[in-house]
Amino acid sequence: MPLIAMFSAQPYDRRFFETANARHGFHISYHDVALSAESAVLAHGADGVCAFVNDTLDAATLEALSAQGVRFVAMRCAGFNNVDIAAAKRLGVAVVRVPAYSPEAVAEHALALLLTLNRRTHRAYNRVREGNFMLEGLLGMTLHGKTVGVIGTGRIGLATARIFRGFGCHLLGEDRYPCDDFTALGGEYVSRECLLAESDVVSLHCPLTDDTRYLIDAQALAAMKPGAMLINTSRGGLIDTRAVIESLKARRLGGLAIDVYEQETSLFFRDHSSDIIDDDVFQRLVTFPNVLITGHQGFFTQEALTEIAEVTLDNVACLMRGAPCANRVGD
Ligand code: NAI
């Protein structure tokens, strides 16, 4: 039976993987540390590693893994922007991922963020607990009839668009590969300029690539409708956070809700409540009353975790059999 070394393993990973592994009986060693060139030694004797969004799988890490006999990387997530695919290919290390697991889980979180940011329910919750029933500062906008711009109309973007449609919003979309399902919802594909200029809410659902890094920069922010809200549940690097701070300070961007942050690797999935956080950009961000941040929990539902564990282990089983794996990347 193959040995899989899992990195960045949280207690919930262990629970869901142990259940899914009942069908396979693989040996899994769980390590709570993130994968990097330094921690790769923990994979000694393993056939493969299982990694997550904030693990570092650059050439140095992959070389260290490969030198120890690691033959595959099983990502337990959809995005693989943190994997040097060219290096993996050169080293003969197979990379598999979970391309789709409950896209609705992330879409619903995007909506949870927007609804909270818009109606300030996070602030209202605290006020009511303190006996403060004043409404000043809680004013939102009615979403019905507003225009929502979805950048990236793939699985999650489409699921998000469906919910917005249910709210009675007009849908604008931007994608390199327009999809009929989006237009069937009444969505209209337009240029990025048009989408930014006309949307009351912009929601990002494209992957992080060289093309999409800082897709929302100072120029894009200046092109947005004043007072519009920006939602990012995709990857932090899609947004130039410093430019967003300037736009918020200028009272131009109406609000920001993010589940991902460009420098999240050193922060997210850990308890830093007793630490002094050195990231001044992040700390500035949390001071705005119209900024809402969650720590990469869009995927965090029972259904999604079940699917992630099952598909990850099925991917490994497929590689072990030497069978072609549809979820392999970089081929
Ligand atoms: P997908 O592959 O189904 O859709 C992505 C869409 O983006 C595709 O239609 C693609 O054509 C489009 N796209 C690519 N480059 C583009 C560009 N330059 N401009 C406009 N559109 C572009 O992926 P899916 O499943 O919808 O996931 C989207 C992203 O969500 C993932 O890449 C991942 O980063 C993020 N994600 C976040 C999670 C969370 O917990 N917050 C969980 C799962 C995924």
Alpha-helical (H) ranges within 102-224 are 103-119, 121-129, 155-166, 180-184, 192-198, 218-223
Residue 53 sits at the vertex; the CA angle it makes with 241 and 172, to the nearest 5 degrees, is 55
Q: How many residues comprise the chain?
A: 331
Question: What's the pTM value of the predicted model, to 2 decimals?
Answer: 0.94
- The single residue listed with the structure tokens 């260290």 is 64
From the candidates 235, 262, 307, 310, give the one annotated as an active-site residue.
235
CB atoms within 10 A of CB 76: 28
CA gyration radius, the chain: 21
Q: Answer yes or no: are the C-beta atoms of 70 and 4 closer than 8 Å.
A: no
Per-residue pLDDT tens digits for 186-215: 999 999 999 999 999 999 999 999 999 999
Determine the pLDDT at residue 99: 92
Determine the pLDDT at residue 330: 87
Per-residue pLDDT of the chain (331 residues; tens, 9 = 90+): 899 999 999 999 999 999 999 999 999 999 999 999 999 999 999 999 999 999 999 999 999 999 999 999 999 999 899 999 999 999 999 999 999 889 999 999 999 999 999 999 999 999 999 999 999 999 999 999 999 999 999 999 999 999 999 999 999 999 999 999 999 999 999 999 999 999 999 999 999 999 999 999 999 999 999 999 999 999 999 999 999 999 999 999 999 999 999 999 889 999 999 999 999 999 999 999 999 999 999 999 999 999 999 999 999 999 999 999 999 998 7
- The single residue listed with the structure tokens 């912009």 is 202
Distance from Cα 213 to the centre of ligand 1, integer Å: 13
Q: In whole angstroms, what is the distance from residue 286 CA to residue 293 CA?
A: 8
Residue 76 sits at the vertex; the CA angle it makes with 60 and 2, to the nearest 5 degrees, is 75
Determine the pLDDT at residue 331: 75
For residue 264, indicate whether it is catalytic.
yes
Q: Answer yes or no: are the C-beta atoms of 267 and 295 closer than 8 Å.
A: yes
Residue 278 sits at the vertex; the CA angle it makes with 34 and 60, to the nearest 5 degrees, is 35
Among protein residues, the one with the nearest Cα to ligand 1's atom 15 is 206
Is ligand 1 within 6 A of the CB of residue 236? Answer: no
281: nearest Cα among 255, 254, 230, 246? 246
Which domains are present in the chain?
Answer: 3-101+301-321 (3.40.50.720), 103-293 (3.40.50.720)
C-alpha pair distances (Å), 110 with each of 135, 143, 172, 259, 297: 25, 14, 16, 8, 10
**Ligand 1 atom nearest to CA at 235:** 34
For residue 235, indicate whether it is catalytic.
yes
